[in-house]
């Protein structure tokens, strides 16, 4: 048995899981939130303990040290010394063109991650900080980077290249990179196993505060809704998704907004929040049920955008065997699933409404028996996927 510590280091948070491989048992999990802010908290859970505590967390070094202390604690811990942790897997959002697979971290890799800061300014810097802190606390454990963009490196050039002058592609590396790759890889592999189809055409729909949809053919990503950055494609919690570029020019040239202000609007003040004043879908669904017209329209717009991509990706793959819903909204919102699957008879997509209303933490089929396309709900587990990839690399 090997103990793999998985770290997902955000700008003001640090998520972690200690997973035993190959049994895939979660020994401990938790989150340090509000790093560098007042009211910072450590949430920690094991088989025999669950609790939180508030304390001063000025930086990621203090956060990870607190996590380490809990893992090693005589009463609440799950390991006796740092040497019992076999390897550490780090989620790194952007690997650019440099990384197309999981990689053992060395100085060269850290430098490359730093060089990609401009492509993911909100994510790669804290990802690198988590790596640097972990190296000091666990000097004997291999540090491994699992890149969110790696799964999408299989997307062919005809789909990943933008129709702008070649110099921007060749010199500046402006192209579709895609995100949520770890999640899409995990759920589509699980779907293939469930369907018992090694070769399958799957449309994977990751719906959370951030949303994306991927066309996966025979286990490989061939197209994806997020592009150079994480604001394209589907309507998200606070992000706009697809928008006519002319709107941006108009906002700057005619309405007087700065580029920074437009970026703030499209990333943090748009999407479902911009349409309704709510970013949490549960609030939007509740308001829609009370008759709120804005929320009803926002839900229709959200589902319509997803349906458009399903049509596009069915065309790209010349068919579809299964549609997969995953992540917080995809796994829990029966309303969104119902709206997306409505009036899709042409594609042979037919929902079993009774199955759709049921809740489960297991993979399940919610399509009717006469549905040509299988509709699946597959709970995602990015931490487990990271642990599997780390183990495969270092074993």
Q: What is the DSSP string of 190-211?
A: HHHHHHT-SS-EEEEEEESSSE
**Alpha-carbon torsion angle 262, 263, 266, 268, nearest 10:** -120
Asked if residue 269 belongs to a known ligand binding site, the reply is no
Asked if residue 206 belongs to a known ligand binding site, the reply is yes
Backbone angles phi, psi at 49, to 5 degrees: -150, 145
Q: What pLDDT was estimated at residue 183?
A: 93
Q: What pLDDT was estimated at residue 61?
A: 85
Give the active site residues.
Answer: 148
On the 0-12 / 13-18 / 19+ scale of CB atoms within 10 A, 280 is: middle
pLDDT tens, residue order, the chain (395 aa): 899 999 988 767 888 999 999 999 999 999 898 888 888 899 999 998 999 999 998 888 889 889 999 999 888 999 888 889 999 999 998 898 888 889 999 999 999 999 888 887 778 888 898 899 889 888 889 999 999 999 999 999 999 999 999 999 999 889 999 999 999 999 999 999 999 988 999 999 999 888 999 999 999 999 999 999 889 999 999 999 999 999 999 999 999 999 999 999 999 899 999 999 998 899 999 999 999 999 999 999 999 999 999 999 999 999 999 999 999 899 999 999 999 999 999 999 999 999 999 988 899 999 999 999 999 999 999 899 999 999 998 87
Asked if residue 241 belongs to a known ligand binding site, the reply is no
Asked if residue 328 belongs to a known ligand binding site, the reply is yes
Asked if residue 71 belongs to a known ligand binding site, the reply is no
Asked if residue 261 belongs to a known ligand binding site, the reply is no
Backbone angles phi, psi at 173, to 5 degrees: 60, 40
Asked if residue 329 belongs to a known ligand binding site, the reply is yes
Best CA proximity match to 213, nearest among 308, 345, 343: 308
Asked if residue 381 belongs to a known ligand binding site, the reply is no
Cβ pair 329, 302 in contact under 8 A: no
Asked if residue 209 belongs to a known ligand binding site, the reply is yes
Q: What pLDDT was estimated at residue 100?
A: 86
Integer angstrom CA distances of residue 364 from 200, 307, 323, 356, 374: 17, 21, 12, 9, 10
Q: What pLDDT was estimated at residue 59?
A: 85
Please give the domain boundaries of the chain with CATH numbers for all domains.
2-147 (3.30.420.40), 197-377 (3.30.420.40)
Asked if residue 318 belongs to a known ligand binding site, the reply is no
Q: What pLDDT was estimated at residue 39?
A: 86
Give the C-alpha separation, 366 to 326, whole Å.
13
Give the C-alpha separation, 336 to 63, whole Å.
36
Cβ pair 320, 313 in contact under 8 A: yes
Q: What pLDDT was estimated at residue 152?
A: 96
Asked if residue 219 belongs to a known ligand binding site, the reply is no
Best CA proximity match to 355, nearest among 369, 373, 340, 372: 369
Radius of gyration (Cα) for the chain, nearest Å? 21
Give the C-alpha separation, 216 to 309, whole Å.
13
**Tell me, what DSSP letter sits at residue 348?**
T
């Amino acid at each position: 048995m090997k103990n793999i510590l998985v770290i997902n280091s955000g700008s003001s948070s640090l998520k972690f899981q200690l997973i035993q491989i190959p049994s895939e048992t979660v020994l401990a999990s938790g989150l340090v939130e509000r790093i560098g802010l007042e009211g910072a908290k450590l949430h920690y859970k094991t088989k025999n303990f669950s609790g939180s505590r508030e304390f001063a967390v000025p930086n990621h070094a203090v956060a990870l040290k607190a996590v380490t202390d809990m893992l090693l604690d005589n009463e609440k811990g799950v390991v006796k010394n740092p040497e019992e942790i076999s390897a550490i897997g780090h989620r790194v959002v952007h690997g650019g063109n440099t990384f197309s697979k999981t990689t053992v971290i060395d100085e060269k890799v850290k430098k490359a991650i730093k060089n990609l800061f401009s492509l993911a300014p909100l994510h790669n810097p804290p990802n690198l900080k988590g790596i640097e802190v972990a190296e000091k606390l666990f000097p004997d454990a291999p540090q491994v980077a699992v890149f969110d963009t790696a799964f999408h490196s299989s997307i062919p050039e005809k789909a990943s290249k933008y129709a702008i002058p070649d110099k921007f592609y060749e010199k500046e590396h402006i192209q579709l990179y895609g995100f949520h790759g770890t999640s899409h890889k995990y759920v589509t592999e699980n779907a293939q196993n469930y369907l018992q189809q090694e070769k399958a055409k799957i449309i994977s729909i990751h719906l959370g505060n951030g949303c994306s949809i991927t066309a996966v053919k025979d286990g490989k990503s061939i197209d994806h809704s997020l592009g150079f950055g994480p604001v394209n494609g589907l309507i998200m919690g606070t992000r706009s998704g697809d928008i006519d570029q002319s709107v941006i020019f108009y906002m700057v040239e005619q309405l007087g907004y700065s580029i920074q202000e437009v970026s703030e609007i499209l990333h943090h003040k748009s999407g479902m929040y911009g349409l309704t004043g709510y970013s949490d879908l549960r609030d939007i669904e509740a308001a829609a049920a009370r008759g709120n017209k804005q929320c009803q329209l926002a839900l229709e717009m959200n589902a319509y955008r997803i349906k458009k991509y399903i049509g596009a990706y069915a065309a790209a793959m010349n068919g579809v065997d299964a549609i997969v819903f995953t992540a917080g909204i995809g796994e829990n919102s029966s309303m969104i699933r119902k709206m997306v699957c409505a009036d899709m008879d042409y594609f042979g997509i037919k929902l079993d409404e009774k199955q759709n209303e049921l809740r489960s933490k297991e993979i399940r089929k919610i399509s009717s028996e006469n549905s040509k396309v299988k509709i699946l709900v597959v709970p995602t587990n990015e931490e487990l996927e990271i642990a599997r990839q780390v183990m495969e690399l270092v074993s």
